[in-house]
Structure 1
């Protein structure tokens, strides 16, 4: 019986009951969870899998447990956004701390990688069937989308300076039709898919995408055959939550990006402004400025839970590119000149698996100011064992507060390194630290560790006495302090 018919029967029965003194009570509100499985990627010896949970009930779920079996020869090697236990080929997965509550009409998800190609069978959620026996990538509950409208192949964009969108299709159409001075305004809801901006704004008329934190962008990719260097390509989904490609002068404000391969990526998109955006539950890095996306700003934003699949590549904010990647991302004299980027007043951590900020070689003259770094959960993989690793030159790092608490692998608060340094190319030199507060949790060696002074003899790094440190194994810094 449908809920509408049930209410009608209750109403009719209640009117009759008025004659005979009977009392009819409607059923209590309750959650109703289903789960759908899909492969997010695959390779010769395994695949990436994802379960999406949907609450079609009338009340919030408090927690969830999914159980399923994998055939012999297939096992889960890594998982994220969940707590997983195994008995033989039977797996039991419960929610993580942040995704147990699912509102009516809302969704949550978790993912895993496998060794072996066998698919899950016998799925149950909180003891009931997940809703389809052997999950299929071709069936998707309609409640996963944020709209009850049928999908359309074309979406018109109204004229005007402000375009309101409430579906993924409308957002993609608005991005494709963007022009200088236009604002794309997101309604609350979940937007699933690939969102790529390729139209430039101007200095006097930037293009803005804005929305509340409850406007959530999710990219379930990657999929298709990737080009040799990342570029928007027909048939390929990068997996990026929001991608600016050749799109300077864009402002991104207020919304959330989560559950994507990378969070926000700016390629050859100078004067990008990211403000008040939340990026979390990301497979690799949260925010990446590359391909000379110079003169950009990220401020007042919140980043956590990165590197869920590639811990060594789970940076919070990534400035530029390693020189080994300049063949793809170096479009200015062969160097990725993502210069003069400002990272201001952000909260980065916990569970940012690599550095909160990784400043790559070849970049210069940025500002890192007023940020809060929570180092809990830093992985130590791929030499990620500090809040900030500076391989660029001429950066001002001031007024930041950093803390560390277990678990994690933590060596120093701030570090410098000098890859590819030559007299004409002084990487990791000429940087300045002042007014930073560092709590190393009794584990970190130095608040500021300068790796080499000889490589920066012509342009030394400077550590001012206004920096403070507590609970350090060795102290403030390993170089002389400037008053």
Structure 2
């Protein structure tokens, strides 16, 4: 464990916080909640934000609901650490099962991403103004209105909660993690080697959660390790967060920055990455590797990758190249990081390689609802598109991609066939592509002869503007 290191400041694009405070009416043994809004990251078409729900009363609160409106043209695109329902411009966030209790003087947080630039108005917490108001006569035993009938999108953690505020505490908590436990990060910079190796379970996942202002850094490797990376005493590979042999983990809300690699998931199926901010990374931002199947990355922002090695600066990397299967192919000699879902993320600008690189040997993933900003693609190692699909049976749907200088850009989406049967049977629907006058095709399928009987399909619901060639180089299927 390293004790100290000069840490680069976290390069978050934090917006101004809107702090709503007002004198509160005193009440004996009662909870009194306020909710404070803050932008935590900003991009051209939206932002990330969080609410801090604080109990300024003298008794614990056992449930909370924050509601607000967004102006027309802005909408919540994803959220975490809450249960959300939206009706038009009105959004309601109820506590999850593990963060409803707010001790007197305590604070809990939930986060969300917004498409658009409008900020919340008409905010209430448990039906009272977010700035504070008269405390209720008794703390609510449940949120004041019924939760939605649908369950949260991922199993909530259970068991004890471990609060940490230093790198040493986080390293110790990860080493002692057990199924059902939640490790909660306080705001601050955590500089160290952070690795999880304890398996969770479907019924009791292990959660690490924190606000965007909790920043994990690890800019340099230390010691020596094996050529095929596995946890080794005395060796730090320089990863921002590493899961190794640790299925059923959930990483939520926090930032990983100034690391050699961002988040690496090895031999760890059923891992969910939710609402992370990954930026200023030497190589790839997020890597599902060594048959880390059935994973999810959603609602996250990834930018400024490949700062040390542009040729290896992918935003999200699924699987391994066949040349690395001897190292990472732990299932039949193939890296079967199958069925990974990449959902509603904002990737770019200055992702130096592909925004998503889908490697051969992987199958049946989903790439949906993402926004790709192609500024800064380096063009090294044939990285000149938002998405390169060498896997098989992927659904690529509802994504929006743009390109503008600087950068090297050939096509929006590409397929390749490095091994027999790879790069086939993929489907594109409802994607919108602006190639900035530089790219040739929105979707370039490099071969049909290598996919006989399992062709790639491009539907007419896709659209393209500012292309030098057109929508695609193959026949378009109606639909």
State the TM-score, normalizing by the size of structure 1.
0.67
Alpha-carbon separation, structure 2, partners of 1:398 and 1:243: 29
Alpha-carbon separation, structure 2, partners of 1:53 and 1:204: 38
Instruction: Tell me by how many angstroms 1:160 deviates.
Output: 5.7
Q: Where do 4+ consecutive residues of structure 1 move more than 4 Å?
A: 50-55
Alpha-carbon separation, structure 2, partners of 1:248 and 1:308: 29
Instruction: Tell me by how many angstroms 1:392 deviates.
Output: 0.1
The corresponding residue for 1:210 is 209
Alpha-carbon separation, structure 1, partners of 2:180 and 2:159: 10
Alpha-carbon separation, structure 1, partners of 2:218 and 2:227: 21
Alpha-carbon separation, structure 2, partners of 1:265 and 1:371: 20
The corresponding residue for 2:185 is 186
Say how many residue pairs are matched: 329
One of 431, 451, 464 as aligned partner of 1:469: 464
- After TM superposition, the structure 1 = structure 2 runs for residues 70-469 of structure 1, keeping only pairs within 5 Å, are 161-421=160-420, 426-469=421-464
Alpha-carbon separation, structure 1, partners of 2:259 and 2:395: 31
Contact preservation (8 Å) 2:162, 2:181: yes
Instruction: Tell me by how many angstroms 1:221 deviates.
Output: 2.2
Alpha-carbon separation, structure 1, partners of 2:394 and 2:255: 28
Contact preservation (8 Å) 1:193, 1:220: no
1:222-247: per-residue Cα shift (whole Å, max 9, x none)?
11112121011112110000000000
Alpha-carbon separation, structure 2, partners of 1:178 and 1:411: 45
Structure 2 unaligned segments of length 5 or more: list them.
11-157
Alpha-carbon separation, structure 1, partners of 2:374 and 2:201: 37
Contact preservation (8 Å) 2:294, 2:340: yes
Instruction: Tell me by how many angstroms 1:51 deviates.
Output: 6.8
Contact preservation (8 Å) 1:292, 1:332: yes
Distance 1:54 1:447, change over 3 A: closer
Contact preservation (8 Å) 1:395, 1:431: yes
Structure 1 unaligned segments of length 5 or more: list them.
1-39, 41-49, 56-158
Alpha-carbon separation, structure 1, partners of 2:9 and 2:447: 53
1:149-168: per-residue Cα shift (whole Å, max 9, x none)?
xxxxxxxxxx9611000001
Instruction: Tell me by how many angstroms 1:291 deviates.
Output: 0.3
Instruction: Tell me by how many angstroms 1:52 deviates.
Output: 4.8
Instruction: Tell me by how many angstroms 1:342 deviates.
Output: 0.2
Distance 1:210 1:220, change over 3 A: same
1:88-126: per-residue Cα shift (whole Å, max 9, x none)?
xxxxxxxxxxxxxxxxxxxxxxxxxxxxxxxxxxxxxxx
Alpha-carbon separation, structure 2, partners of 1:216 and 1:206: 22
State the TM-score, normalizing by the size of structure 2.
0.67
Alpha-carbon separation, structure 2, partners of 1:374 and 1:282: 17
Bigger Rg over Cα: 1
1:4-50: per-residue Cα shift (whole Å, max 9, x none)?
xxxxxxxxxxxxxxxxxxxxxxxxxxxxxxxxxxxx9xxxxxxxxx9
Distance 1:54 1:258, change over 3 A: closer
Alpha-carbon separation, structure 2, partners of 1:228 and 1:280: 26
Higher helix share: 1
Contact preservation (8 Å) 2:7, 2:191: no
Alpha-carbon separation, structure 1, partners of 2:386 and 2:7: 33
RMSD: 1.7
Instruction: Tell me by how many angstroms 1:312 deviates.
Output: 0.5
The corresponding residue for 2:476 is 481
The corresponding residue for 2:102 is none
1:384-432: per-residue Cα shift (whole Å, max 9, x none)?
00000000000000000000000000000000000011xxxx1000000
Q: Please give the secondary structure, in 2, of the residue aligned with 1:281.
A: strand
Alpha-carbon separation, structure 2, partners of 1:332 and 1:51: 40
Distance 1:435 1:395, change over 3 A: same
Alpha-carbon separation, structure 2, partners of 1:358 and 1:473: 23
Alpha-carbon separation, structure 2, partners of 1:361 and 1:296: 17
Contact preservation (8 Å) 2:159, 2:182: no
Alpha-carbon separation, structure 1, partners of 2:318 and 2:469: 29
